[in-house]
Amino acid sequence: MKLELVCPAGTLPALRAAVDHGADAVYIGFRGATNARNFPGLNFSEKEAAAGIAYAHERGTRVFVALNVYPSPATWDAATAVIDTAARLGVDALILADPGLMHYATNRHPALRLHLSVQGSATNWRAIEFYRREFGVRRAVLPRVLSVTQVARLIERTEVEIEVFGFGSLCVMVEGRCALSSFATGHSPNTQGVCSPAHAVRWEETPAGRQSRLNGILIDRYSPGEAAGYPTLCKGRFRVNDSVFHALEEPTSLNALDVLPALMAAGVKAIKVEGRQRSPAYVAQVTGLLRRALDLCAAAYPGRTEGHGDDRAGSPASWTPPADLLSALDALAEGRTHTLGAYHRPWQ
């Protein structure tokens, strides 16, 4: 079973980079507070989206549109306008979290394919089956809180396609229930579409070093030459008693290369890369590396199909990702290291 590679595209150059380097699908958002990467200079106008869709379709790549916020009454019309525009432009799927928007899309554009966003926070098969039954959802993106064993058990109980994250930044919050940015800035990622909005971010040069603040809250201080990450509360360094450290989460990136055969055997349909806020160069490098990894894994396990994890293709435990692939991805990782996150729970 081939694992699809779904890659981020925050801009038209990033979309072209993903397509050119082997993505099976790309996901984009429209400008404004209708998607969870609402940063200045990011996302697509209708004209740019049309150009991107044409570029991707000409090369056999699908385009998904992320509309993964929960609109308020004041922003409902803007959200439904994105659905209408996406349908008119011929996108291949909408990625939705809000049931009201799913209801609108199902009734207004019944032929439009719907995917359940990770922001929907569906972590069990009953929740996913609800969205399939009520709205015809065809694919669900799982939150990054399940082990490989839990993913496999879920897939056994639903006919909905399952997409999981394979590389990119981790979030300490459960997707769909983000609160830290709201607490600090008054802007919720789930309604305004951005964690740590740019208007609340400040960089300061001080005798003690460069430091970052979020709405006045000191998030981190960097020594000379130290890489400075975008300030988010969950990945800041804080003083606890007499120590200063990453009290909530140390910056690191999810990298699922070690468990690719197990995900394939479980019946996972697609591997997703986080990062619509990343540069075209980053998207090109990550897409090319993961394309190579997925192709190598498929070649190593040619007989592995859904529901036949122990067939003649061999055991997932025998898979060792090439060291050069891992080191190249680590060089692009947040914090310059990687983790399997919740995927690896050996006691299960």
Q: Give the whole-angstrom CA distance, residue 317 versus residue 315.
A: 5
In a domain, 220, yes or no: yes
Domain containing 199 equals 180-245
Report d(CA 273, CA 259) in Å as an integer: 15
Q: Match 């984009």 to its residue by tokens.
A: 28
pLDDT for res 317: 58
Residue spans of beta strands (DSSP E) within the chain = 4-8, 25-28, 62-67, 93-96, 114-116, 139-141, 161-169, 201-206, 209-214, 217-222, 238-240, 243-245, 253-255, 270-273, 338-339
**Average per-residue pLDDT in the chain?**
87
Q: Kindly state the average pLDDT of the residues 137-166.
A: 95
Tell me how many domains the chain contains: 2
What percentage of the chain has pLDDT greater than the value 90?
A: 54
- Please determine, for residue 158, whether its predicted confidence score (pLDDT) is greater than 50: yes
Query: Where does a domain end: 224, 245, 266?
Result: 245
Specify whether 188 is located in the same domain as 220: yes
348 lies in some domain? no
Per residue in 180-220, pLDDT tens?
777 888 777 777 767 788 888 899 988 878 999 988 889 88
For 234, the token pair is 């969950």
Strand order in the sheet with 201-206: 201-206, 209-214, 217-222
pLDDT tens digits, 54-92: 999 999 999 999 998 899 899 999 999 999 999 999 999
- Claim to verify: residue 198 and residue 159 sit in the same structural domain: no
Q: What local confidence, expressed as pLDDT, does residue 46 receive?
A: 97
79 and 137 part of one domain: yes
The closest alpha carbon to 256, from 168, 335, 175, 323, belongs to 168
Domain finish residue from 191, 218, 245 = 245
Residue type, 24: D
Per-residue pLDDT of 24-37, as tens digits, reads: 999 999 998 788 77
Res 334 pLDDT > 50: yes
- The mean per-residue pLDDT over the stretch 117-131 comes to 94
Tokens (6 digits) for 299: 């070649």
pLDDT exceeds cutoff 90 at 145: no
**Residue 107 within any structural domain of the chain:** yes
**Higher pLDDT residue, 239 or 289?**
289
Q: Does residue 130 lie in a domain region?
A: yes
Residue (of 182, 106, 107) closest to 138 by Cα position: 106
- In the predicted structure, residue 328 carries a pLDDT above the cut 50: yes
pLDDT at 39 exceeding the cut of 90: no
Using the 3D structure, point to which of 207, 222, 245 is the last residue of a domain. Answer: 245
Q: At residue 31, what are phi and psi to the nearest 5 degrees?
A: -65, 145
Instruction: Give dist(CA 308, CA 310) in Å, integer.
Output: 6
